[in-house]
Structure 1
Amino acid sequence: MDSKALDKIKKCLRLAKSSNANEAAAALRQAKKLMAIHGVTTDDVAISDVESHTTKAGAGKTPPNHVALLANMVAGAFGAEVVYCPLFDGERWTGRVEFYGVGGAAEVAGYAFEVLGRQLKRDRAAFLATLNKRLKRATKVRRGDLYASAWVDEVSRQVVPHKRSEAEENTIEAYKTKRWEEPLETVQARDNTKGMRSHDHSAIHQGYQDGKKVSFHQGVNGSRHAQIGEVAS
């Protein structure tokens, strides 16, 4: 619907909460009138506050486990939801991660995912560079993914999930119902760590050690601002 009309409806609904009974009643009548004219429901108004942010995942049709872990961790930290979006360009599959939420949650979650994702990719590559070059590719992938999952697990220990209000929960549920016919699940992933060997434990240990060098700090007093940086060694 027209954004200006929607803004007018929202303004009226805000005024409908006024402590002045007459003003509140008049504003509510006007909001209902505008909603009837434009065929808008209260759910439509609520879900218009949901924003989304899409970013590259650096993965294919199905993301590896550590990418899914990172996406779900970041979404939970800021009260956002996340969905993985595989795209086929005619030659190969690429993946994107879409965060959606209210109150700026999607944008800050997307930013955090991008920053942490770059750091994880860099650390994983540095770890792989220490491995014996004669190892099979499958072994390198397995150890790299074990390292990355441990890295994310260690970083997640710093995160306190954001608890959404009842109103936010209702808005998110209304948005999902309108956008998708079937209920969505959290990001699913492929497991490249099957067939783990005893020598692979060193990869997990190193992942935890390097994860401890990462700082993920949520702002105080309910702020969703994230400060993400590497602790000086």
Structure 2
Amino acid sequence: MAMNNDRYRDKVRKLLALAESNNPYEAERALSQAKKIMAKYNISAQDSEIVEITAIPVPRKRLKDYESLMIACIREVSGCEIFFKSRYENQKWHCYPQFVGVTSDASMAAYCFDVLYSQLVRY
């Protein structure tokens, strides 16, 4: 049963991350589903220690193929969900990768991205 609870906690984490969406309908639906699962399987908010950590911004609206591939690899290894927010700041577009997951996983994924991206930019 513990394995199933872990699966449902992970599902709740992902739904709570989706509840931060800019689309209000999608966010409301995700939050509603998360609450139903939490009630059905007796999962508390503390059980789903979800955090969202924003990595260093990429100075353009869209990622290049090699950046997307790097992020996909980090996602696979860390087990975090990754969302992107684009903002127009100082007359330039910036893409902010956001790593969502358990505290240790999300912080490690963001750190990996920061280090690897800095190395890519350097060369």
After TM superposition, the score normalised by the length of structure 1 is 0.32
Which entry has the higher C-alpha Rg, 1 or 2?
Answer: 1
More strand, by proportion: 2
Contact 1:99–1:110 (Cα < 8 Å) also in 2: yes
CA contact (8 A) 2:59 2:92 kept: no
Deviations 1:35-91 (A, max 9, x none): xxxxx9556616751111101232311111111111121121111111111001262
> How far apart, CA to CA, are the structure 2 residues paired with 1:115 and 1:80?
17
Give the residue type in structure 2 aligned to 1:74.
I
Moved over 3 A (4+): 40-44
- Could you say which residue in structure 2 is the equivalent of 1:37? none
Specify the code of the residue in structure 2 equivalent to 1:88. Answer: Y
Which residue in 2 is equivalent to 1:160? Answer: none
Structure 1: state its 5+ residue gaps: 1-39, 124-233
Gaps of 5+ in 2: 1-37
Evaluate the alpha carbon distance shift between residue 57 and residue 68 of structure 1 in structure 2; reply closer, same or farther with a 3 A threshold: farther
Q: Distance in 2 between the 1:92 and 1:43 partners? A: 42
User: Is residue 2:94 matched to residue 1:97?
Assistant: no
Q: Count residues in correspondence.
A: 84
Q: 1:57 to 1:71 in 2, by over 3 A?
A: farther
Q: 1:94 to 1:83 in 2, by over 3 A?
A: same
Residues in 2 aligned to 1:90 and 1:62: alpha-carbon distance in whole angstroms: 17
Higher relative contact order, chain-length normalized (CA < 8 Å, sep 6+): 2
- Does the 8 Å CA contact 1:83/1:97 hold for their aligned counterparts? yes
Q: How large is the RMSD of aligned CA atoms in angstroms?
A: 2.3
- 2:61 is matched with which residue? 61
- Give 1:89's aligned amino acid: E
Counterpart-to-counterpart distance in 2, 1:101 and 1:111: 14
- Seq. identity, %: 23
Instruction: Give the alignment's TM-score, normalised by structure 2.
Output: 0.58
